[in-house]
A and B are shown apart, each in its own frame.
Chain A
């Protein structure tokens, strides 16, 4: 075998190996999806699962309605705080982001994205649980809001940066105030990208367990009062999966299936929004 064909053979072998190893990455995704659907289906195929609350083990008709509502309340309250703050912060970074501390704000946001979620739970516990001697949905929302904030800041900044500068300049040339330009012109033009970030942040918050363990704590009953402990879907998966009762384990798989579906839907919706943003940016420039 001469040198050239040896090189070509090596190339082929290496390329094959790299591609095969890369495909390996899709294996865990399919395994997690398949097993969650197979194990969770017996639970979610009953309507009771969605409209009833927990019952003593062995009594049929148990459901996770209290956790569904808990997740909606906790994540909803967190979004009310984190989305406006994050969007305003992101607009600032994109519009005035050349000054020195902007670099620090970016670094701090990126570091906060990677901060351990359990530590954020401890932080929320120290601030919102310990002083009141009461676990509460509000404390859980605070922890989730801290998790969401940096994600929203950075994605909003990225979306606003995609808006062509001509739009901003034409607004300013018409004599509009800076705030009017950024809220009435830039933000609508960046809307799909901002929505992408918001959806990603909400999806991340809805799946978090660790920050809720000692903030919203969990609750076996339906609770609508945000100053009391409240349940959440991830907490159901975590607590029920570790019990020795097959019925509860099935229920945990069911809740896991609901969580996965929520995450996938949010993720696909955010990709759709992002694609619209890219198309819009192309058209405007």
Chain B
């Protein structure tokens, strides 16, 4: 029978599938290729600064284009502090949204909430920037940082003078911007928890809160941690909204009401004006540091989230 079919077909099965397969697989290599080139090209362009300043670049606080005295510490500090504060504010809200969205029932209300969170993610960062600059910053100065620094100014954390463009303002804007990532990924994680676990808890007579606190959240912990780290990656790399609200002063200070500067902001502000060889190379090295930090953070977070949402046979 098979031989008969072979004979009635004038030509062997088309060789086209292989060509198609190789073509598409070549195209699909574009993302890893671009990612590799990104690191290699920026590393190459930053090489003059890397070889000139060496590892000292990471621990020096100076940023003086006139004397070509450059160090990344101030910017690493600003980036880490704003991102950490943003996560601190966004974390409880994001987890609450995830818990709320993962519940069954009341579909209309949940779909409004889900749409709202998605739209929050759709708003361009420059719009958050202008809103932070003209609406949030004056409000925070008047109602939060002003009064607090007057009353608790002796604490280094709240020391004055309070400014409109401050670590606090940038962190609040960032918190709003990373909230959708945190909420959406956490929701997937909470949803991926086997229903049997929750049902068993309810069957034992536990209330909703006891089930959530003792069963759902512990089971979701690695995934929610991954979601938080993923949001951290977004916060670290955010440029425009932070540049517009942080004050852009290369300072390291303890007060959250003071200004600061981040890796991404200094690149955005100074790169087009950087002349000579070392100055742009130093900025590119800041870019390289930023990429390496976000790459590490993202890869770690993705692996964590995947382990929870796509359970393998090994678990």
Q: Mark A209-223, 1 if CB is under 8 A from B, else 0.
A: 110011001000000
Least distance between A130 CB and chain B CB atoms (Å): 8
Does any Cβ of B come within 8 Å of A24's Cβ?
yes
- CA distance in complex: A176, B183 (Å): 44
Please give me the residue from chain A that is nearest to B299 by CB atom.
A111
> Across the interface, do A25 and B302 meet the contact criterion of CB distance under 8 Å?
no
Least distance between B124 CB and chain A CB atoms (Å): 3
Given contacts A28-B176, A35-B135, A179-B16, contact A111 B298 (CB under 8 A): yes
Q: Which of B35-72 contact A (CB under 8 A)?
A: 35, 37-38, 41-42, 44-45
> Across the interface, do B207 and A238 meet the contact criterion of CB distance under 8 Å?
no
Task: Pick from B109-117, B152-160, B191-199 the stretch touching chain A.
Answer: B109-117
Least distance between A81 CB and chain B CB atoms (Å): 10
Q: Which of A15-66 contact B (CB under 8 A)?
A: 15, 17-19, 21-26, 28-29, 31-32, 35-36, 39
Size class of the contact patch on chain B: 35 or more
Please give me the residue from chain B that is nearest to A125 by CB atom.
B271
Q: Which of B260-315 contact A (CB under 8 A)?
A: 264, 267-268, 271-272, 284, 287, 290-291, 294-295, 298-299, 302
Given contacts A114-B234, A203-B122, contact A242 B244 (CB under 8 A): yes
Task: Pick from B22-30, B143-151, B250-258 the stretch touching chain A.
Answer: B22-30
> Across the interface, do A92 and B287 meet the contact criterion of CB distance under 8 Å?
no
Least distance between A92 CB and chain B CB atoms (Å): 4
Taking A89-B30, A92-B27, A238-B244 as given, write out 5 further A-B residue pairs in contact, using a Cβ cutoff of 8 Å, ordered by the A residue number.
Answer: A11-B209, A22-B93, A24-B93, A92-B21, A119-B294
Given contacts A117-B237, A238-B240, contact A207 B126 (CB under 8 A): yes
Does any Cβ of B come within 8 Å of A133's Cβ?
no
> Across the interface, do A252 and B284 meet the contact criterion of CB distance under 8 Å?
no
List A residues at the B interface (Cβ < 8 Å): 7-8, 10-11, 14-15, 17-19, 21-26, 28-29, 31-32, 35-36, 39, 85, 88-93, 95-96, 101-102, 104-105, 107-112, 114-120, 122-123, 125-127, 130, 146, 149-150, 153, 177-179, 182, 203, 206-210, 213-214, 217, 234, 237-238, 241-242, 249, 252-253, 256, 259-260, 263-264, 266-267, 271
> Across the interface, do B130 and A241 meet the contact criterion of CB distance under 8 Å?
yes
> Across the interface, do B237 and A207 meet the contact criterion of CB distance under 8 Å?
no
> Across the interface, do B298 and A178 meet the contact criterion of CB distance under 8 Å?
no
Please give me the residue from chain B that is nearest to A172 by CB atom.
B17
Contact for A92 among B28, B267, B294, CB less than 8 A: B28
> Across the interface, do A267 and B37 meet the contact criterion of CB distance under 8 Å?
no
Q: Which secondary structure dominates where chain A touches chain B?
A: helix
Given contacts A15-B208, A238-B240, contact A88 B24 (CB under 8 A): yes
Given contacts A25-B120, A32-B127, A150-B31, contact A96 B134 (CB under 8 A): no
> Across the interface, do A112 and B268 meet the contact criterion of CB distance under 8 Å?
no
Does any Cβ of A come within 8 Å of B99's Cβ?
yes
Please give me the residue from chain A that is nearest to B25 by CB atom.
A92
> Across the interface, do B287 and A111 meet the contact criterion of CB distance under 8 Å?
no
> Across the interface, do A116 and B271 meet the contact criterion of CB distance under 8 Å?
no
> Across the interface, do A234 and B126 meet the contact criterion of CB distance under 8 Å?
yes
Which of B126, B127, B207 has the largest number of chain A CB atoms within 10 A?
Answer: B127
Please give me the residue from chain B that is nearest to A127 by CB atom.
B41
- CA distance in complex: A249, B32 (Å): 41
> Across the interface, do A123 and B28 meet the contact criterion of CB distance under 8 Å?
no
Least distance between A183 CB and chain B CB atoms (Å): 9
> Across the interface, do A7 and B122 meet the contact criterion of CB distance under 8 Å?
no
- CA distance in complex: A8, B210 (Å): 10
Contact for A119 among B125, B130, B183, B287, CB less than 8 A: B287
Least distance between B37 CB and chain A CB atoms (Å): 7
Contact for B32 among A39, A88, A105, A116, CB less than 8 A: A105
> Across the interface, do B31 and A116 meet the contact criterion of CB distance under 8 Å?
no
> Across the interface, do B97 and A22 meet the contact criterion of CB distance under 8 Å?
yes
Least distance between A246 CB and chain B CB atoms (Å): 11
> Across the interface, do B128 and A114 meet the contact criterion of CB distance under 8 Å?
no
**Which residues of B lie under 8 Å from residue A213 when comparing CB positions?**
268, 271-272
- CA distance in complex: A24, B175 (Å): 12
**Which residues of B lie under 8 Å from residue A267 when comparing CB positions?**
118-119, 122
Does any Cβ of A come within 8 Å of B233's Cβ?
yes
**Which residues of B lie under 8 Å from residue A117 when comparing CB positions?**
237, 239
Does any Cβ of A come within 8 Å of B161's Cβ?
no
Given contacts A119-B290, A123-B38, A210-B240, contact A112 B128 (CB under 8 A): no
> Across the interface, do B120 and A259 meet the contact criterion of CB distance under 8 Å?
no
- CA distance in complex: A30, B129 (Å): 16
**Which residues of A lie under 8 Å from residue B100 when comparing CB positions?**
18-19, 22
Least distance between A107 CB and chain B CB atoms (Å): 6
Contact for B123 among A23, A24, A104, A263, CB less than 8 A: A263
> Across the interface, do A252 and B125 meet the contact criterion of CB distance under 8 Å?
no
Does any Cβ of A come within 8 Å of B236's Cβ?
yes
Does any Cβ of A come within 8 Å of B141's Cβ?
no
Given contacts A126-B45, A256-B127, contact A88 B27 (CB under 8 A): yes
> Across the interface, do A263 and B208 meet the contact criterion of CB distance under 8 Å?
no
Task: Report, nearest first, the 9 A-B pairs whose CB atoms are least far apart.
Answer: A207-B124, A116-B237, A92-B24, A108-B32, A11-B207, A179-B20, A89-B28, A178-B17, A14-B209
- CA distance in complex: A256, B133 (Å): 13
> Across the interface, do B14 and A177 meet the contact criterion of CB distance under 8 Å?
yes
Least distance between B88 CB and chain A CB atoms (Å): 14
**Which residues of A lie under 8 Å from residue B45 when comparing CB positions?**
122, 126, 130
Least distance between B300 CB and chain A CB atoms (Å): 10
